[in-house]
C-alpha cells in the first residue's frame, strides 16, 4: 500500500476536504497513474451530496482522469511508464456477461465497478476517484490519450465526451441529420462539438441567453432559447435526434414536440428527481421515442478519443486548484461553467 493525497466528502452536507488515501500496490494487470488533471462532472456533485441515494462515505469523486503511468504490474502489456493515459467512469466489470462480451461494460449485467463509489471485485474495498494525486487501475480499463491533445482539455472527454459520443453514434448523427443538444454545460458543449464534427446540422437549446454566442463558436448552426415558445415552435416536428443533457428535473414535452415521426430524444442528464411523465399522445401520434444512454464502453471510449485526436477536439475548460472544488460545485449549480472545470492535481502535490 502507498499513500496518496485526495479530497473527499465525508457526508452529504459537508464541503469536500483533504483526505489521505491508501492505494493498493499494483496487481499483475494494474497500471499506477500519477493524476495530472481531473475533470469535474455534475455526477460528482450528485454523488458527493447523495442525490442518487447510493453514496458510500467518505467519497473521493473524479472520473475524468488524465495522467502519466508511473508503474505497471508484471503482466501488463499495453502500457509502460511515461505513457499519457486516461481513466473514465469504469475501472472493472465482470468481463463475461453478454454486455461485457459485446464491449458494453457500462451495461454489465453483474454491475460495473465505478471509478469511485464502486466496490473492487478482488479486495472488496470501496473505490476512490481522480480527486487525488495517484490511482491504480487494471490495464483493460485504461485508455490511450492521443499525444496531440492538450492533457487538461482532454480530461473531460473521459466522461462528458463519451457520454455524448455514444448516443450520437447510436442514433446516427451525421450528414443530412438535424440534431438537437439540450443544455450547454460540460456534456452539452461536448455534444455540440462532436455532433458538428460528425457532420450533423446542430441546434443547441439553452436556458441561458448569455451562452448564445459561445454555442455558435463551439459549433452550433442554430441556437434556441428553450424558454421562448415561439422559438421552440419554429422547430416543431423537424428533428431526427435530440440529446438531452440537462442536470435538473424539467418538462420534456416541449422537446418531444420537436421530433419528427419515428425520431428519438435520448436522456443522459441524471437529475436528483425524475422528470414528470411526458404526454403519451405526443409519443403515440408520431411514433416518437424517449430513450436513455449510459456513458460508453471501453472500446467505444478509445474510438471517441481517437476521433477527437483526428479532429483536434478537446473540452473548453477552466483550470482550478483542488482547494477550489466547493466553489466550483456552487458555480456548476448556477449553470456558470465555461464549459468544464478541470482540477490541476499539482495543487495537491506541493
Ligand atoms: P452541467 O455542466 O452542470 O450542465 C448541465 C446544463 O443543464 C447546464 O449548463 C444548463 O445549461 C442546463 N440546466 C441546468 N439546470 C437546468 C434547469 N433547471 N432547466 C433547464 N436546463 C438546466 O452538468 P454536466 O456535467 O454536463 O452533466 C449533465 C447531467 O448529465 C448531470 O445530471 C450528470 O449527472 C449527467 N451525466 C450522465 C451521464 C450518463 O452516462 N448518462 C454521464 C455523465 C453525466 P443551459 O445554461 O444551457 O440551459
Ligand atoms: Zn461524469
Ligand atoms: Zn459483465
The closest-lying atom of ligand 1 relative to the alpha carbon of residue 250 is: 19
Rounded mean pLDDT, 154-163 = 99
- pLDDT class of 350 with cuts at 50, 70, 90: confident
Handedness of CA 325, 327, 330, 334 (dihedral sign): negative
Residue with cell 502507498: 2
Dig out the grid coordinates for 264 from the structure: 428519438
Q: Which atom of ligand 1 is nearest to the CA of 188?
A: 26
Cell triple for 262:
419515428
pLDDT one-digit tens code per residue, 60-99? 999 999 999 999 999 999 999 999 999 999 999 999 999 9
Would you say the CB of residue 269 lies under 6 angstroms from ligand 1? yes
Write the DSSP assignment of 124-158 as a string of letters: -PBP--SSBSEEEEEGGG-EEPPTTS-HHHHGGGG
Domain residue ranges of the chain, discontinuous segments joined by +: 2-159+296-349, 160-292
Q: Closest Cα to atom 34, ligand 1: which residue?
A: 43
Q: Is the pLDDT of residue 316 over 90?
A: yes
Residue 108 pLDDT exceeds 90: yes
CATH class of domain segment(s) 160-292: alpha beta
Kindly state the average pLDDT of the residues 160-168: 99
Q: Is 126 exposed, middle or buried (0-12, 13-18, 19+ CB in 10 A)?
A: middle
The pLDDT of residue 281 is 97
Residue nearest to atom 27 of ligand 1 (CA): 42
DSSP output for 240-299: EEEEE--SS----HHHHTTEEEEEEEEE----SSPPPPPPHHHHHTTT-EEEE--S--HH
Instruction: Determine the residue of 38, 39, 42, 182 to mutate for testing ligand 1's pocket, defined as the one with the most ligand atoms within 8 A of the Cβ atom.
Output: 42
Residues flanking ion ligand 2, Cβ below 5 Å: 41, 43, 159
SS3 61: coil
Element (DSSP H or E) covering residue 191: helix 186-198
Residue 226, ligand 1, Cβ within 6 A? no
How far is the CA of 320 from the CAs of 40, 217, 269, in angstroms? 10, 23, 24
Average of per-residue pLDDT across 2-23: 97
Q: State the closest ligand 1 atom to the C-alpha of 41, by its place in the atom list counted from 1.
A: 25
User: 2-159+296-349: what fold?
Assistant: Quinone Oxidoreductase; Chain A, domain 1 (3.90.180)
Mean pLDDT of the chain: 98
pLDDT tier for residue 174 given thresholds of 50, 70 and 90: very high
Per-residue pLDDT for 39 more than 90? Answer: yes
CA 47 distance to own-chain centroid: 14
Residue 98: in which H helix or E strand, if any?
helix 98-101
Ligand 3 ion: nearby residues, β-carbon < 5 Å: 93-94, 97, 100, 108, 110
Position 201 scores a pLDDT of 99
Q: What is the mean pLDDT of residues 243-259?
A: 98
Q: Determine the Cα–Cα distance for residues 350 and 346; give it in Å rounded to an integer.
A: 7
Atom 13, ligand 1: residue with shortest CA distance? 246
Residue nearest to atom 10 of ligand 1 (CA): 183
Query: What are phi and psi for residue 211, nearest 5 degrees?
Result: -95, 0
**Per-residue pLDDT reduced to its tens digit, 255-309:** 999 999 999 999 999 999 999 999 999 999 999 999 999 999 999 999 999 999 9
CB count in 10 Å sphere of residue 223: 21
The percentage of the chain sitting over the pLDDT mark of 70, rounded to a whole number, equals: 100
Per-residue pLDDT at 346 exceeds 90: yes
Q: Does the structure show a pLDDT above 90 at 30?
A: yes
Amino acid at each position: 500500500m502507498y499513500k496518496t493525497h485526495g479530497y473527499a466528502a465525508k457526508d452529504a452536507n459537508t464541503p469536500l476536504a483533504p483526505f489521505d488515501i491508501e492505494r493498493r500496490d499494483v496487481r499483475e494487470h494494474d497500471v499506477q497513474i500519477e493524476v495530472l488533471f481531473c475533470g469535474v462532472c455534475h455526477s460528482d456533485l450528485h454523488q458527493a451530496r447523495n442525490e442518487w441515494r447510493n453514496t458510500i462515505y467518505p467519497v473521493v469523486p473524479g472520473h475524468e482522469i488524465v495522467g502519466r503511468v508511473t508503474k505497471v504490474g508484471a503482466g501488463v502489456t499495453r502500457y509502460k511508464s511515461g505513457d499519457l493515459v486516461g481513466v473514465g467512469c469504469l475501472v472493472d466489470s465482470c468481463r463475461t456477461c453478454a454486455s461485457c462480451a459485446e464491449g458494453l461494460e457500462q451495461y454489465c449485467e453483474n454491475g460495473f465497478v465505478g471509478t469511485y463509489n464502486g466496490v473492487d471485485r478482488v479486495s472488496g474495498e470501496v473505490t476512490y476517484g481522480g480527486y487525488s494525486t495517484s490511482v491504480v487501475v487494471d490495464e483493460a480499463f485504461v485508455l490511450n490519450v492521443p499525444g496531440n491533445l492538450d492533457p487538461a482539455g482532454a480530461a473531460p472527454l473521459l466522461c462528458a465526451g463519451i457520454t455524448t459520443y455514444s448516443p450520437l453514434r447510436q442514433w446516427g448523427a451525421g450528414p443530412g441529420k438535424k440534431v438537437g443538444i439540450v443544455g450547454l454545460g460540460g456534456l452539452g458543449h461536448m455534444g455540440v462539438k462532436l455532433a458538428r464534427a460528425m457532420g450533423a446540422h446542430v441546434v443547441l437549446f439553452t436556458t441561458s441567453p448569455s451562452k448564445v454566442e459561445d454555442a455558435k463558436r463551439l459549433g452550433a448552426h442554430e441556437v434556441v432559447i428553450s424558454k421562448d415558445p415561439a422559438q421552440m415552435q419554429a422547430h416543431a416536428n423537424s428533428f431526427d435526434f435530440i440529446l438531452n443533457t440537462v442536470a435538473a428535473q424539467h418538462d420534456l414535452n416541449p422537446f418531444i414536440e420537436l421530433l419528427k415521426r419515428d425520431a428519438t430524444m435520448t436522456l443522459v442528464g441524471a437529475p436528483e428527481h425524475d422528470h414528470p411523465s411526458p404526454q403519451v399522445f405526443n409519443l403515440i401520434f408520431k411514433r416518437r421515442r424517449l430513450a436513455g444512454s449510459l456513458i460508453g464502453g471501453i472500446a467505444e471510449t478509445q474510438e471517441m478519443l481517437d476521433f477527437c485526436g483526428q479532429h483536434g477536439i478537446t473540452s473548453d475548460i477552466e483550470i482550478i486548484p483542488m482547494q477550489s472544488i466547493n466553489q466550483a460545485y456552487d458555480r456548476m449549480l448556477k449553470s456558470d461553467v465555461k464549459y468544464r472545470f478541470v482540477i490541476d492535481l499539482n495543487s495537491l502535490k506541493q
